[in-house]
Amino acid sequence: EKFDIVKKWGINTYKCTKQLLSERFGRGSRTVDLELETQIELLRETKRKYESVLHLARALTAHLYSLVQTQHALGDAFADLSQKSPELQEEFGYNAETQKLLCKNGETLLGAVNFFVSSINTLVNKTMEDTLMTVKQYETARLEYDAYRTDLEELSMGPRDAGAVSRLDAAQSQFQSHKDKYEKLRADIKVMHKQLLLFHNAISAYFAGNQQQLEQTLKQFNIKLKTPGAEKPSWLEEQ
């Protein structure tokens, strides 16, 4: 059984390597889905840009945290001076209150930025990464599909003795198996592209404070909010 597995793996590797080299040297034909491959390249470029945004947002978080801590310490220092400097008690008191207010607002902003960082991190390192893993599987399936398609085409053009017919039937079966795998992953990527578009549009509308656009996005993808008082209230529910 192990020998059969290794043998099957070896044959598959040989066929795929042959197909890959044939494509690179311009001798073999390659199945091309222009729409899907454009979407894949756009996803890769978008991921690189979002990674840059994530890096900058994390830096902003660190700076904001330092600023809030400084404001908090400065407010405490002014409050202490207000108690120890009777001649400037009122002035130091005003400054202490100002720094406390700035600190409070800074903490609120910091919370919003942290939520943004968390959302972008999930998008980049979970949603997009999962999609790109599917893309890698798709690209492997595409190569296997073309390798077995080429094999089938070559056998179809050869002589039709009993042995050749048997090999042709086996090649047809292998080709159909890899074709099914290729088509499934192709469909999976299109579904993931739709989900990424939904996430992007919803996040953009949320942070822009555009309630109308957010509601329109939910309608566009057939998503509804559960009504108040529902048996099991939750965030979003797909129809």
Residue 6 lies in a domain: no
Mean pLDDT, residues 112-130 taken together: 79
Residue 20 lies in a domain: no
Residue 198 lies in a domain: yes
Residue 135 lies in a domain: yes
- Reported as a pLDDT band with limits 50, 70 and 90, residue 220 is low
| 170, pLDDT greater than 80 | no
Query: Higher confidence at residue 201 or residue 139?
Result: 139
Number of domains in the chain: 1
Residue 165 lies in a domain: no
pLDDT of residue 228: 39
Query: Higher confidence at residue 73 or residue 1?
Result: 73
Residue 213 lies in a domain: yes
Mean pLDDT, residues 120-137 taken together: 81
pLDDT of residue 64: 85
3 state SS for the chain: CHHHHHHHHHHHHHHHHHHHHHHHCCCCCCCCCHHHHHHHHHHHHHHHHHHHHHHHHHHHHHHHHHHHHHHHHHHHHHHHHHHHCHHHHHHHHHHHHHHHHHHHHHHHHHHHHHHHHHHHHHHHHHHHHHHHHHHHHHHHHHHHHHHHHHHHHHHHCCCCCHHHHHHHHHHHHHHHHHHHHHHHHHHHHHHHHHHHHHHHHHHHHHHCCCHHHHHHHHHHCCEECCCCCCCCCCCCEEC
pLDDT of residue 237: 36
Residue 231 lies in a domain: no
Residue 21 lies in a domain: no
- Reported as a pLDDT band with limits 50, 70 and 90, residue 195 is low
Domain span holding position 52: 32-155+173-222
- Reported as a pLDDT band with limits 50, 70 and 90, residue 46 is confident
Over residues 50-90, the pLDDT tens digits come to 899 889 989 988 998 998 899 999 999 999 998 888 888 88
- The separation between CA 230 and the C-alpha centre of its own chain, rounded to angstroms, equals 32
Residue 133 is part of a domain; what is its CATH number? Answer: 1.20.1270.60
pLDDT of residue 232: 44
CA-based nearest residue to 60, from 134, 112, 105, 14? 112
Quote the tokens at residue 85.
């400097």
